Structure 1
């Protein structure tokens, strides 16, 4: 494998120096790949023969024996093959802010992998941001509040608003929801025949298991109502009030999050962002506690799939 940097602060680019069979290379050189991932936070495999979701799934199995399902979902996705999902199915003109996968949950994948099967005609990059840089840019007092209080995520599921509870919990029954919530310490209440409320308090910061670095690790900046366009936020507030918004976030003790603090978090992510253009067959391996990721708007038929690996707990 040959190494280069495509952009400063971005992933380490690895190209073939022999075999182009990426799953076979990953299986044979797994320890080397792990070292590169720890050192750089993201590794981009380029120029290998990866032309299908099935070949990408083989790579995931070679890198990590533990593949995660996507339950307690926050965005719409579809299963493609075993252990492989579409990336978030939001409209092409919409930007997906930088975030760490499943950071709103108490357990999360330590690794992510993305595979570009069809690049966008324009745009569609998957920007990355080093969490160490993001964390260092924030007021230490804000980080301490996140660390000591955690973040509480409150969601309301209604027909035709946001994604249905059946999709979120991957079940068609209330009993299935109750069982999942009990197992994962999620409060849940049926407010009426069609409205479900859930709430869970999770971490605000977390410690990287390999490097020992403490980093910002939550999705308060995504769940909070201030993340919505102002017109949308006003409309939802007028319909449901702050207590019954489709999704919102507070500190774990119920204290409101200051919009200016969340604006500072978003600025820190934006300032740390780096991006590279996708090429057909690219595979990107990401340390989920070192690098945040997002999606730029795009035109054309972009098809990027993803895999979640190595549960944190």
Structure 2
């Protein structure tokens, strides 16, 4: 049951159809008790055999995410909804440095509706060039969230943490809660050496691999090499296979605060060893689609990868998404993930670039 508290409202006074968005309270804890999501020992979840995993996924905190719904329902167009939504996004994510806001009850039914909203939120949308995920474009600026098998659980991660260009239960994690919980020696070693992200992409081929043509959205090797040069990335061709790697810091200063911003665990080869399409493949780690190393090229110890996973899931929160939900995340402050699911679902994403400079990051 939803209960409106009505203290904050954002409207679109110039629209022919007024959209009045009201902050809404959700009793996440009661919902989680009715439908608990088991984490520890969950099949197809990397590292879940660890005794340090929480037994069940935590519900969201109050105000994380904030939830907004139309005050009296609405028949407004997606473009008209976007105007009111833009004010909420600016107030909460930009001015108040919050990590997430969830919009519910808006008349958004299709990928085209979603595209109309995100293309009218005043954001600088970006494509998915060089992305690791298995996705496909379904509308302007919009991709499927993941085309991985539905039973597989995708771990909490920041989008594009491995490049200089970052931008059933849905899982989110407050990035600001991760760093204080990590072992200091682990953090210090990564801060000293950095993180090497390794990618191995064949040409068009049947099977589970993502091809370099799909990842870079081109058939032209020269276009791929241009991307590598522009982003200070190393690469090599072996026949028609592409390997590329880049070393990045494990932390990033954002709005004056140092954040744990990396994909050490989720881009590690161990991810594939718990994946239904890869778990029985007897191949070296560097021949999986991606892997991580310390910045000097040495292997990251299995216990370190597990420690990071333990911490990530201890701070993770989740809720059941509903038809028409639109969740806006600040990728610097909030990680995202998913648990496996059954049945049919349609979940789409859009990515946007940071469009302003913060003096406190100088």
TM-score using structure 1 length? 0.85
Paired residues for 1:1-313 under 5 Å: 1-6=21-26, 7=28, 8-9=60-61, 10-17=64-71, 20=74, 21=76, 23-28=79-84, 30-37=86-93, 38-109=96-167, 124-158=168-202, 159=205, 160=207, 162-191=209-238, 193-209=239-255, 212-229=256-273, 235-236=281-282, 239=283, 241-311=284-354
Go from structure 1 to structure 2 and tell me whether the alpha carbon gap of 1:163 and 1:3 turns closer, same or farther (over 3 Å shift): same
Go from structure 1 to structure 2 and tell me whether the alpha carbon gap of 1:258 and 1:69 turns closer, same or farther (over 3 Å shift): same
Go from structure 1 to structure 2 and tell me whether the alpha carbon gap of 1:58 and 1:262 turns closer, same or farther (over 3 Å shift): same
In 2: Cα distance, 1:95 partner to 1:175 partner: 35
In 1: Cα distance, 2:79 partner to 2:190 partner: 39
CA contact (8 A) 1:149 1:204 kept: no
In 2: Cα distance, 1:302 partner to 1:234 partner: 27
SS state at 1:126 partner: strand
Q: Which deviations, in whole Å up to 9, do the C-alpha atoms of 1:59-87 show, x marking residues without a partner?
A: 21232331001100201111111101111
Of the structure 1 ranges 34-43 and 254-263, higher mean CA displacement relative to structure 2 is found in 34-43
CA drift at 1:30: 2.8
Compare the two structures and name the one with the higher helix fraction: 1
In 1: Cα distance, 2:192 partner to 2:240 partner: 35
In 2: Cα distance, 1:108 partner to 1:168 partner: 15
In 1: Cα distance, 2:85 partner to 2:240 partner: 51
Higher relative contact order (CA 8 A, sep 6+): 1
RMSD of the TM alignment (CA)?
2.3
In 2: Cα distance, 1:47 partner to 1:258 partner: 46
CA contact (8 A) 1:143 1:216 kept: no
Q: Which deviations, in whole Å up to 9, do the C-alpha atoms of 1:79-123 show, x marking residues without a partner?
A: 1111011111001111111111111111211xxxxxxxxxxxxxx
In 2: Cα distance, 1:224 partner to 1:29 partner: 36
SS state at 1:127 partner: strand
CA contact (8 A) 1:64 1:310 kept: no
Q: Which deviations, in whole Å up to 9, do the C-alpha atoms of 1:138-196 show, x marking residues without a partner?
A: 113322333333211112223445200101111112222211111112211112x2322
Go from structure 1 to structure 2 and tell me whether the alpha carbon gap of 1:161 and 1:302 turns closer, same or farther (over 3 Å shift): closer
CA contact (8 A) 2:124 2:355 kept: no
Count of residues in Structure 1 that have an aligned counterpart in Structure 2: 293
TM-score using structure 2 length? 0.75
Q: Select the structure of larger CA radius of gyration.
A: 2
CA drift at 1:137: 1.1
In 1: Cα distance, 2:336 partner to 2:88 partner: 23
Q: Which runs of 5+ in 2 are unaligned?
A: 1-20, 29-59, 357-362
CA contact (8 A) 1:181 1:188 kept: yes
In 1: Cα distance, 2:235 partner to 2:340 partner: 35
